[in-house]
Amino acid sequence: MPELPEVETAVRQLRRWVRRRRILAIEPLHRSQARTLSPARCRRIEGRRIVDVTRRGKHQLLHLDDGATLLVHFRLDGEWVRPAGAEPRHARVAFALDDGRVLYLTDPRALCTITWHAPGAPPELALGPEPEDPALTAAGLRERLQRKRGPIKPVLLDQRLLAGVGNIYAQEACWIAGISPKAPADGLSLARVARLLAGLRRTLADGHVNAGRYHRGQRRIPFKVYDRAGEPCARCLTPIRRITQAGRGTWYCTRCQR
C-alpha cells in the first residue's frame, strides 16, 4: 500500500507534469471511475486549468482555477503515467492536457478514487496533523495519544491522530524509538513520545530521500523491522518477531523495544 513518502513522491511528479496546464478533456476508462466522473461532471472539469497539486495525509488534491478541487486517493495501488505512445495497462482515467500530452491514472486493482469538489466547498478530511509539521510538538502528540486506548502501533494508524502514517512507517518509528508496538498509547512518557515523533520523522525522511521505498510491491531499500521476521535486529541482533495487531502484521524486536 502506498504510504506517505510514496504519495508525496507521486504528488511531486504530478505537480511537475500538470501545474498551470489546462485540462482539455477528462475521460473515465473503467467502470470504477464512471460513477464519480459522470459526463456532466467531466464537462465541468474540462477547460479548467490546474493551479497547483498538494498533499494532505495520503490524499492528493488538484486545485482548479475555478476554485474546484479534484481529490485523488490511491487506496491500495496507483500511479500517474504520462507515456509517449499508447494507453498504458490498467489505465483508469485519462486527462488530455494543453501541452499535447495525455496523463493517465493507472491502478491494477481499480480501487483508486477521484472525486470532484465544487468551488468554495473543499473536501472535508478528518485528519490529524501531518507528522512532519514543525508545529506538532511531542507534548501536543502526547496529549492526543492520551485520548486513545490500545497499543501504540495500531493507534498510530488512526488518520485522525496523525495524517498519513501507515503500517510500515508506524512500526519502523517504534523500532527507532525503542518502543514496543504493544505499549499502551496513553501511557507513554513525554520522553518516549518525543523519541517516537523523532522516529516517525526520521523514517519518513528516509522514505522521501529514496523517493518512496516501495514501488509496485518492490522494495529497494531495506526496512529495520518491517517484513524481516527471523532476521537479526540491526541494534541488538535479537531475531525480529512478527505479531498481528488489529489484523495487520507488526514486526519488532522483543529485546530493545520496550
Establish how many alpha carbons lie within 13 A of residue 250's alpha carbon, considering only the half-sphere containing its beta carbon.
26
Cβ at position 195, least distance to Zn ion in Å: 15
Binding mask 176-215 for Zn ion (x = CB under 5 A): ----------------------------------------
All residues at 6 or more sequence positions from 232 whose CB lies less than 8 Å from its CB, including other chains: 238, 239, 240
- Residue 211 C-alpha from the chain's centroid: 13
234 binds Zn ion (CB under 5 A): no
Handedness of CA 188, 238, 154, 196 (dihedral sign): positive
Out of 34, 198, 243, 256, point to the residue binding Zn ion (CB under 5 A): 256
CA 233/CA 256 separation, integer angstroms: 9
Handedness of CA 199, 213, 94, 113 (dihedral sign): negative
Cβ at position 28, least distance to Zn ion in Å: 49
Residue positions annotated with a catalytic role? 2-3, 58, 248
127 binds Zn ion (CB under 5 A): no
Hey, which residues between 56 and 95 contact Zn ion (CB under 5 A)? Answer: none
Cβ at position 240, least distance to Zn ion in Å: 8
236 binds Zn ion (CB under 5 A): yes
Q: Locate cell 500500500: which residue? A: 1
- Binding region for Zn ion (CB under 5 A): 233, 235-236, 238, 253, 255-256
